[in-house]
Amino acid sequence: MSRFLSSATNRIDAKGRVSVPAAFRTVLASMGIEECYCFKDIHFPAINIGGPDLLTRFERQLEDLDPFSLEANRISLIVHGGGLFMRLDSEGRLSVTDFIRSHTGIAGEITFVGRSDYFQLWRPEDFSAAQTAAREELRKRGLTSS
């Protein structure tokens, strides 16, 4: 397995930790990811999580920009100033920090959402609403068969 697919909702424990779904842990292990790069999504109330290559992808975009341009500074504010590295504990759990809670509104449960080479953390009801809205928009434009 080499992609983050599907979604799963897990409960946050009394110590503020959540178990990362086994399928997602398998992908992290297969990609050799021990330290996860996390940043706040630009469009949704979600946290994006991937390996160091996710950060590298943004930094490659920055290389093509004037480092003093407004665009480069905006990107850097998000990916450097708004990002951090996190590790799963030995039991495959992630600490649900204020960094995660403040952007997402997550409280008792977290929905993990696969996004191919990274995954996201969502408040369950926000993910459900966003997925429904995306499906409806695509239907309106005739881009799905369901």
Closest CA to 92 of 37, 10, 14: 10
- In a 13 Å sphere around the CA of 130, the CA atoms on its Cβ side amount to 15
Architecture of the structural domain at 7-140: 3-Layer(aba) Sandwich (3.40)
Q: Give the integer Cα–Cα distance in Å for 41 and 49.
A: 10
> Could you give the angle at which helices 70-79 and 52-63 cross, rounded to 10 degrees?
170
Closest CA to 103 of 75, 76, 78: 78
Q: Give the integer Cα–Cα distance in Å for 135 and 48.
A: 21
CA distances from residue 123 to 2, 6, 127 in whole angstroms, order as listed: 25, 15, 6
Main-chain phi, psi angles of 67, to 5 degrees: -60, -15
Describe the chain by its helix, strand, coil percentages, rounded to 5.
40, 25, 40
- Count the Cβ atoms, other than its own, within 10 Å of residue 106: 22
pTM score, whole prediction:
0.93
What confidence score (pLDDT) does residue 143 get?
A: 80
What tens digit of pLDDT does each residue of 44-61 get?
999 999 999 999 999 999
Residue segments in the chain with a per-residue pLDDT below the cut of 70 = 1, 144-146
What confidence score (pLDDT) does residue 145 get?
A: 60
Domain ranges across the chain:
7-140
